Structure 1
């Protein structure tokens, strides 16, 4: 087993195969499988928790944008999780809060990234730029707020 604190990766060599992990929760869930059913004690694996990033985006669509267009655009946003590495979660939809504090924002979405670096790869990524090019003409206002957290 080899741990690199510089890149926050772990390599496990089992039966002449090497497995590299950057997601430590995923690693711990896969260890019994990697050892071919032999359960090994994993308490010795102490990893630093890497901060993940929550990417919160609030949108206000122009009045002429239809519900069908909005559904299509949210479909494009959801597809980014399969097209860009490092996105672990996507959810989004119309505002449903009864508080009335949405300040004109009608929709929102949340993306979770495995790391700050993954978020930084996403921002200029060609697939993200393609979706933005379709989304931006339909948007009256947008608010983006990112924060780091450790799970």
Structure 2
């Protein structure tokens, strides 16, 4: 079973639409930029996301969400703690993100 990595962002009011759009594009681009050190190939199986458009009123102020799929915990662990492209993304988005939340789960494991 794979691992799902869910990230949601609440951007600062001072962040421009262009800055937010660029951050979102960069988040999705990680699926191609993150290269595994032993295989020298991209290892994020899929990445998707976008702006919240729910009318339920339950977003808690979070405006954008992303889902990345990983084959296993080891790949996710490398991504979260060591991947240079991911770490650079975190640093770049830090100036415009007010808050981020992350949930990781194994598909089908309850």
Q: What band does the TM-score fall into relative to the shorter chain?
A: 0.7 to 0.9
Q: TM-score, normalised by structure 1?
A: 0.63
Q: TM-score, normalised by structure 2?
A: 0.85
Per the TM alignment, residue 122 of structure 1 is displaced from its structure 2 partner at its CA by 0.7
Larger radius of gyration: 1
User: How many Å separate the matches in 2 of 1:81 and 1:108?
Assistant: 15
* Structure 1: stretches of 5+ with no match in the other structure: 1-50
Tell me the residue number matched to 1:14. none
Tell me the residue number matched to 2:90. 132
Deviations along 1:61-115, one digit per CA (max 9) or x if unpaired, are 0001111111111111111111223201111111111100011111111111111
- For residue 119 of structure 1, the aligned residue among 64, 68, 76 is 76
Structure number with greater CO (CA < 8 Å, separation at least 6) is 2
Q: Which runs of 4+ in 1 moved over 2 A?
A: none
* Structure 2: stretches of 5+ with no match in the other structure: 35-41
Please say if 1:141 is aligned against 2:66: no
Per the TM alignment, residue 116 of structure 1 is displaced from its structure 2 partner at its CA by 1.0
Number of residue-to-residue matches in the alignment: 100
